[in-house]
Structure 1
C-alpha cells in the first residue's frame, strides 16, 4: 500500500491596528508599523508579505529564522507559499538583531536574485525591508530596484 500526501495550509492571525490593513501598502513605513516588533527579536527572521493586485496584504509567513547574525533565505522558500496564497506580488521583511538596518552583502545578493525572478514567476518583489532598532531600510526607497 502507498500513501498520497495531502498538503494542508493553515492560517493563524496577528492582531494589528485597523488603520494598517485593508488598504494598499504604499510605503515601507507602513510595513515597519505592522512588523516593528521584529526589532526585539534575538534571531534574524524573514517574513514574506503576500499582496493582491491592489497591493493589499493577503497574508504573511515567517519564511526563515536564523541565528543572531545570519539566516538562510532561499528563493524557493520565499515564493512557494506566495504562489499558494495566489499573491500577485510580495514584500520581504527581514530584521537585524544588531539594530542596524544597513544591508549585508548576503541581503543584497538575495534581494537581487528575488527581484530578477519576476520574469520566471510573474510575481514582482515590491520591496526588501530591513528592520533595525527603531529604524528600517528599504531597497525601493534606496533606489536599488
Structure 2
C-alpha cells in the first residue's frame, strides 16, 4: 500500500489597526507599524508578506525562527509559500533581538539572493526590512535595491 500526502494550509489572524490594511504597502514605515511587536522577540524571526499586484497584503507567514543571534533563511521555503499564496511580490521582515537594526553580513547576503531569485522567477522582492528596538532598516531605502 502506498501513501499520498495531502497538503493542508491553515490561516490564523493577526489583529491590526484598520488603517494599516486594505491599502497598498507604500513605505517600509507602514510595514514596521504592522510588525513592530517583533522588536520584543527573544529569538530572531523571519516573516514574509505576500502581496497582490496592487501591493496589498494577501497574507503573511512566519517563515523561520532561530536563536538570539541567527536565523536560517532558505529561499526555497520563502518562495514556495509565496507561490502557493498566489503572491505577485513579497516583503521580508526580520528582527534583531539585540535591538540593532543594522543588517548583518548574513542579512545582506540573504537579501541579495532573494532579490536575484525573485527577479529570475517574476516574483520580486519589494523590500527586506530589519527591525530593531524602536527603529528599522529598509534595504529599499538604504541598501543595494
TM-score by length of 2: 0.98
Q: Secondary structure at 1:82's aligned position in 2?
A: helix
Which residue is 1:122 aligned to? 122
Distance in 1 (CA, whole Å) between partners of 2:119 and 2:132 is 31
Q: Which runs of 5+ in 1 are unaligned?
A: none
Q: Which runs of 5+ in 2 are unaligned?
A: none
Q: Secondary structure at 1:100's aligned position in 2?
A: coil
Which residue is 1:97 aligned to? 97
Query: For residues 92-123 of structure 1, what are the alpha-carbon distances to aligned partners after superposition, in whole Å with 9 as ceiling and x for unaligned?
Result: 00000000000000000000000001233210
Q: Which runs of 4+ in 1 moved over 6 A?
A: none
Answering whether residue 79 of structure 2 is matched by residue 82 of structure 1, we say: no
Aligned residues: 145
Query: More displaced, 112-121 or 68-77?
Result: 112-121
Distance in 2 (CA, whole Å) between partners of 1:110 and 1:132 is 18
TM-score by length of 1: 0.98
